[in-house]
Amino acid sequence: MSIDRIFEAMANDTDRTSVVPISLFVAVLCLCIVAAHLLKESRWVNESITAIVIGCITGTVILLLSKGSSSHILQFDEELFFIYLLPPIIFNAGFQVKKKQFFQNFLTIMLFGAAGVFISSIIISVGSYWLFPKVGFNGLDLRDYLALGVIFSSTDTVCTLQVLHQDETPRLYSLVFGEGVVNDATAVVIFNAIQKLDVSKIHGWTAVYFFGDFLYLFSTSTVLGIATGLLTAYVLKALYFGRHSTDREISLMILMAYLSYMMAELLQLSGILTVFFCGIVMSHYAWHNVTENSRISTRHIFATLSFIAETFIFLYVGMDALDIEKWKMTKTRLSTILGINCIIIFLVLLGRAVFVFPLSILSNFLSSNVEAAPVTFKHQVIIWWAGLMRGAVSIALAFNQFTFSGVTMDPVHATMVTSTVAVVLFTTMVFGMLTKPLVRNVIPRHARAHDTNLSKEKDITLPLLPIDDAGASSFQQAKRSLTMLLERPAHTIHAYWRKFDDTYMRPVFGGPT
């Protein structure tokens, strides 16, 4: 056989070894979609749980066929998650969000999503540092404990959002959804900051520097996302792509959104925050500059990409639970592993409760009674429960911290990876199954209808702010504006923003007429 034929045969073998796993994984993804559709009306099961169960079944079959050597079709890589799977999920979240509800509840969302992550991370880190040795588990350093706090503070609100509806419970949906996005972004920013932290030189000013870095990353990432969205809107408005091809409009929006994420990662910023705010700006300006066909297509395309990415992630989590290599590498006793998992779940429950209920009281105190209804105790229970599930971000951060390209030879690190997978499975399966019954019992259908009517009535009866009053003196206008700002801060700021938006922004960048 000639050298050329040998290389050709080797190339064919390589192609086949990569094509076969991808084909199998796509087939299983199709099975997940069909099964989720058939079980959509189930009281206990949702799409996330369906994907995990099918992943476990698929992993078991592969494990038996491979005689115990592997349970994977594809090998997990955290870069695959952060570069290809996470951007469409976050961008679609920003693109589809109801902006009015999101920004009216922005203070509460930031309290839950940003301050809450700090509080929960501290509780989980300190609790793990104190309780792990009591069950006979040692070997983690200070950086590992700090990372653990962030890993298990990252929430996954998919299960709850599949039950709640924007039209039925607009404010509750906005709070749960907004906290989930800000929570993920904050968790990733804090995790990256911990990786750069010199734990051997921690002093009194370390917390101040750490918080300053967080504010810098948060603000610059947000500005980058807004700038990219505005640039896309201006190009679409000025060049009118739809005159020639709607495909170019859609392609430009998709590529610019992805470019904003990659630029943030290149500049070591938060790509999650950047692509989220890029999605908000594009939906407010760029989406109105494209043709009607492009508007319909973009919403379906972004939602489809997000749905496939979420299903992919949960399917892999189910298969990874049976990764025999990690379980073999774990030298820890079964009783110790069970103790670790119980400690983590307890700390997740505790850390969540410690900030949700007090911060809800603080939010109700800071919010005007005239402006918005308070976050009731029933809503607080739903918000607390919504953040108990752990998902793909926790898995990705754990792999990043305790493995190298998905592989670890350290028994202690292998134990933490398997424990993370076990906690994700338990919280998603158990807590996720109880989400539908909980929401239906805590917030009955008639109560949800009342919330919807109240929200609509409030929007209709809200008086217009007298910003422009030519007959009043400048002092009277300033006094009136200050009074309205104190009584209805969110609505006053929103009114001034609409005036600025209509006068300066929309003529340049486009938007609804």
Which stretches of the chain drop beneath a pLDDT of 70?
Answer: 1-18, 41-44, 68-78, 158-160, 162-163, 165-168, 199-206, 241-244, 323-328, 367-373, 404-408, 445-494, 513
The pLDDT score that the predictor gives to residue 255 is 93
pTM, rounded to two decimals: 0.79
The pLDDT score that the predictor gives to residue 466 is 45
Coil, strand, or helix at residue 18?
A: helix
Q: Render pLDDT for 424-454 as a digit per residue (tens, 0 to 9).
A: 888 888 888 888 788 888 877 655 555 555 4
The pLDDT score that the predictor gives to residue 33 is 86
Domain boundaries along the sequence of the chain: 78-442
Token pair, residue 480, equals: 């009136």
Number of Cβ within 10 Å of residue 230's Cβ equals: 19
CB 341 within 8 A of CB 423: yes
Domain 78-442, CATH class in plain words: mainly alpha
| Cβ-defined contacts of 409-416 (< 8 Å, 24+) | 409/329, 410/329, 411/329, 411/330, 411/331, 411/332, 412/137, 412/139, 412/140, 414/326, 414/329, 414/330, 415/137, 415/330, 415/331, 415/332, 415/337, 415/340, 416/140, 416/144, 416/148
- Enumerate the β-bridge partners of residue 404: 407
The pLDDT score that the predictor gives to residue 16 is 57
Coil, strand, or helix at residue 407?
A: strand
Token pair, residue 308, equals: 């496939």
DSSP state of 43: S
DSSP state of 463: P
The pLDDT score that the predictor gives to residue 152 is 92
- Helix residue spans in 367-430 (DSSP H): 377-386, 392-402, 411-426
Coil, strand, or helix at residue 210?
A: helix
* Nearest partner of 315 among 51, 27, 60, 34, judged by Cα: 51
The pLDDT score that the predictor gives to residue 502 is 80
Q: Render pLDDT for 283-320 as a digit per residue (tens, 0 to 9).
A: 988 888 888 888 888 889 998 998 888 888 888 877 77
The pLDDT score that the predictor gives to residue 269 is 83
Instruction: Report the distance separating Cα 292 and Cα 288, nearest Å.
Output: 9
